[in-house]
Structures are given as structure tokens and as C-alpha cells.
């Protein structure tokens, strides 16, 4: 039964990817999956961790990232190509999910912007270990309110290779621990539909509940090749830090570096 459900959800995801410029509705996606609208919404959320509408929005924004970094199309043209009738709405959603405006994201390949991450506000610490098929490859790990890498994490770290990690200054709440690693020379995989190969590996656990005065359990996070059923990686934190430090595989900042410990400048949106 799980295979049938996964295949139905995959059909819906593939339909999203092929029809980004169309105004797809839940009814359209449910018909593609061959489920009732209500049953489709439930199983889609169960399989992907997101509602169909939110997943579609993420697919659109991932394609916008690709077009911004690989074409000379205007922001307005890109917004229409990925299904937005209003460039203002597109820019607002892009900025909120990716972390910078469309115009600023486009400039990441040609300039080294000043980067600022909102300062952590909590006092808890989460420790764990990340395993990955991509040995010797840097790994990003962060805590997010939902099962998708978008918006700023409440705490994050980069480690030079799979192994132990520490997330500090974690605030009280329920967080999803999301991690990903990109094969060297395959950074374009961040902005392309997943194929199941090892160009982009992802992992997630949670939700993890953080309460004052309690210790969180040791977190084991295995990475695996990303599949089309995984939500796209939207947050451009990896690209921002790569631009700031001169490349994806330059030395990872230490926990005491200013960029890791506090916000120095506001992100220009």
C-alpha cells in the first residue's frame, strides 16, 4: 500500500515540476494522483511532511533559484515563468524562504556580500552525529520549525565532514533537525529536481522538543540521497556563506567566528 501511495504522490510532484507556470489547484493534483482531494491532502502531507500547496510553492522557488543563477531573465519574467502573477508576491515569498531577495541572490555568483544570521536566543545545546555517503564532504545542519529548509534556522552549524556536531543556543520549542551535504562540483543539484543519486544527500529527525532545564537526547542523523518526495532545499545559507568565505569547500568557520555567534549586519533584502 505504501508503494501505491508513494507512486501517487510522486505523480503529483512530477506534475508540479512540469506545470510550474500553471495555476495548479489541489483538485488538479488530486486528479493526477487519482485520489479524492481530502485523501490526497492527507497522504501527501504524510509522505512529504508538507501540504501540497506548500510543496508546490517550494518547487516554484527552487526553479526560480535556478533561473536566477543560470539565465539573464528578469525577475518579473522569472516570477511569471514559475507561476506567480504578481512580482511583488513572488519577491516577498522568495525573500522569506531563501533568505535574500531575488536580485541579491542573483548577485551571489559575482560579489561577496556581507552576511548576517539572526542571533541565537536560547540556552540549550543539542549534540549528535551525522553519517553520510559523501565522505569527506562538508555538512550543514540546522533547526527549523517545519520539515523544510527555508527561512533562517534557530541554530545551525557546518562541519567539515560527517561526524559529531553541536548546535548551541537552541531556544525552547519543537524543532526539526535538517541536514544536507552536496557532492563537490555538484552544487547545481541544490536547484534541480532530485534524481536519487548522491549529488545531494539529506537527513532529518524530529520534532525535537526543547524545554528549559532538560537535556535533549543524542541525535543520530543519517544522510541519504535526496528523492523527488523530499521537500526542496530553499534556504540559501550555504550559498551565502560560500560567497562570504570564497567557495563551498573553503574552511568552515569556527563556532567562535562572528558570523556563527552573532549578527553583525542586517541582510539586505
CA dihedral of 84, 226, 191, 199, whole degrees rounded to 10: -170
Question: Domain span at residue 98?
Answer: 2-107
- List the CATH number of the domain containing 139: 2.60.40
Q: Are residues 173 and 250 in the same domain?
A: yes
What's the chain's Rg over C-alpha atoms? Answer: 18
b/e per residue, 33-55, with b = 16+ CB within 10 A?
Answer: bebebeebbebbbebbbbebebb
Residues 77 and 130 in one domain: no
Span 15-38, pLDDT tens digits = 999 998 888 899 999 999 999 999
Whether 116 maps to a domain, the answer reads no
3-state secondary structure 129-156: EEECCCCCCCEEEEEECCCCCCCCCCEE
Tell whether 249 is covered by a domain. yes
The domain that contains 71 carries what CATH number?
A: 1.10.10.60
Q: What's the pTM?
A: 0.82
* Pair 185, 244 in one domain: yes
The verdict on residue 267 lying in a domain is no
* 138 and 101 within one domain: no
Over residues 175-179, mean pLDDT: 96
Domain end point (choices 78, 107, 136): 107
The per-residue pLDDT for range 222-239, each reduced to its tens digit, is 999 999 999 999 988 666
Residues 158 and 64 in one domain: no
The pLDDT score that the predictor gives to residue 48 is 95
Any alpha helices (H) in the chain, and if so which ranges? 2-18, 26-33, 37-48, 52-70, 75-81, 87-98, 102-107, 237-245, 258-261
DSSP 243: H
Q: Distance of alpha carbon 215 from its chain centroid, rounded?
A: 27
pLDDT in tens, 41-96: 999 999 999 999 999 999 999 999 999 999 999 999 999 999 999 999 999 999 99
Question: Which residues, listed in sequence order, are joined to residue 178 by a DSSP beta bridge?
Answer: 142, 204
Select the more confidently predicted residue: 219 or 241: 219
Q: Check residue 40 and give its pLDDT.
A: 94
Render pLDDT for 110-154 as a digit per residue (tens, 0 to 9). Answer: 544 455 556 666 788 999 999 999 999 999 999 999 999 988 889
Shared domain for 147 and 211, answered yes or no, is yes
Tally of structural domains, the chain: 2
For residue 116, the model assigns a pLDDT of 57
250 plus 221 within the same structural domain: yes
Is it the case that residue 180 has pLDDT exceeding 90?
yes
| pLDDT given for residue 242 in this prediction | 55
Boundary-marking domain end, from 107, 134, 153 = 107
Same domain for 135 and 49: no
**Domain match, 210 and 172 both:** yes
**Do 74 and 131 fall into the same domain?**
no
Kindly indicate the confidence band of residue 187, based on its pLDDT and cuts at 50, 70 and 90. Answer: confident
Final residue in a domain of this structure, among 107, 133, 150 = 107
Task: Kindly state whether residue 232 falls inside one of the protein's structural domains.
Answer: yes
> Is 241 in the same domain as 177?
yes
- 185 phi-psi bin (left φ>0, alpha ψ -120 to 50, beta other): left
8-state DSSP, 198: T
Task: Indicate if 180 and 144 belong to the same structural domain.
Answer: yes
Please tell me the predicted confidence (pLDDT) of residue 123. Answer: 81
Amino acid at each position: 500500500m505504501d508503494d501505491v501511495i508513494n507512486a501517487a504522490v510522486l505523480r503529483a510532484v512530477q506534475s508540479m515540476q512540469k506545470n510550474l507556470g500553471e495555476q495548479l489547484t489541489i483538485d488538479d493534483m488530486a486528479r493526477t494522483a487519482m485520489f479524492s482531494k481530502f485523501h490526497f491532502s492527507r497522504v501527501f502531507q504524510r509522505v512529504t511532511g508538507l501540504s501540497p500547496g506548500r510543496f508546490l510553492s517550494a518547487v516554484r522557488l527552487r526553479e526560480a533559484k535556478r533561473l536566477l543563477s543560470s539565465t539573464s531573465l528578469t525577475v518579473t519574467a522569472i516570477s511569471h515563468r514559475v507561476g506567480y502573477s504578481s512580482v511583488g508576491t513572488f519577491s516577498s515569498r522568495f525573500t522569506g524562504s531563501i533568505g535574500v531577495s531575488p536580485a541579491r541572490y542573483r548577485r551571489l555568483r559575482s560579489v561577496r556580500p556581507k552576511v548576517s544570521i539572526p542571533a541565537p536566543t536560547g540556552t540549550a545545546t543539542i549534540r549528535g552525529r551525522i553519517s553520510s555517503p559523501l565522505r569527506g564532504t562538508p555538512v550543514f545542519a540546522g533547526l527549523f520549525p517545519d520539515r523544510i529548509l527555508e527561512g533562517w534556522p534557530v541554530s545551525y552549524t557546518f562541519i567539515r565532514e560527517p561526524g559529531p556536531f553541536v548546535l548551541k543556543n537552541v531556544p525552547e520549542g519543537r524543532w526539526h533537525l535538517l541536514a544536507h551535504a552536496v557532492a563537490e562540483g555538484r552544487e547545481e543539484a541544490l536547484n534541480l529536481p532530485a534524481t536519487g543519486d548522491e549529488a545531494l544527500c539529506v537527513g532529518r529527525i524530529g520534532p525535537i522538543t526543547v524545554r528549559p532545564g532538560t537535556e535533549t537526547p543524542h541525535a543520530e542523523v543519517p544522510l541519504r540521497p535526496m528523492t523527488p518526495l523530499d521537500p526542496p532545499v530553499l534556504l540559501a545559507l550555504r550559498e551565502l556563506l560560500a560567497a562570504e568565505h570564497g567557495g563551498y569547500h573553503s574552511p568552515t568557520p569556527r563556532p567562535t567566528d562572528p558570523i556563527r555567534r552573532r549578527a553583525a549586519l542586517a541582510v539586505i533584502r
